[in-house]
Amino acid sequence: MRMALIERTVVFIGRTGAGKSACANTLASDVLFLESDQSVSETKFIDTRTVDVDGAKGRYRIKVVDTIGIGDTDLKHEDVLRRLAVACYECREGINAVFFVTGGRFTQEEADA
């Protein structure tokens, strides 16, 4: 008997260069998202990919949402917030997990964001 496909949505949020795309690639066990060199943002909008993986409780279809970096070096703060709003719309059916990726200590700027 086949088990039902379990659908999940996960979102990666964090500062530019913190490793959001690298973490998303690790979760997907594949290179689906472009990775940047530290402070240079590679993700300028949101990037959404779907991956199927086998888990302990069955087969999972995971929607992985890689977001633009907080504090993107090339964009105004308002533009970054608008693009994060698009990510929220992509997840309008619900979010099962949010990964806040940080490259070190959690800063006040990250808390404010």
Fold of the domain spanning 11-105: Rossmann fold (3.40.50)
For the cut 60, the answer to whether the pLDDT of residue 40 exceeds it is no
Query: What are the boundaries of each domain within the chain?
Result: 11-105
| Residue-averaged pLDDT of the chain | 79
**Could you report the per-residue pLDDT of 69-105, keeping only the tens digit for each?**
777 567 787 887 888 888 888 888 899 999 988 877 7
Supply 26's token pair: 């690790």
Q: In the 8-state DSSP scheme, what is residue 2?
A: P
**CB contact at 8 A, 9 and 49:** no
| pLDDT tops 70 at residue 35 | no
Q: What is the DSSP letter of 70?
A: B
User: Taking the model in full, what pTM does it have?
Assistant: 0.76
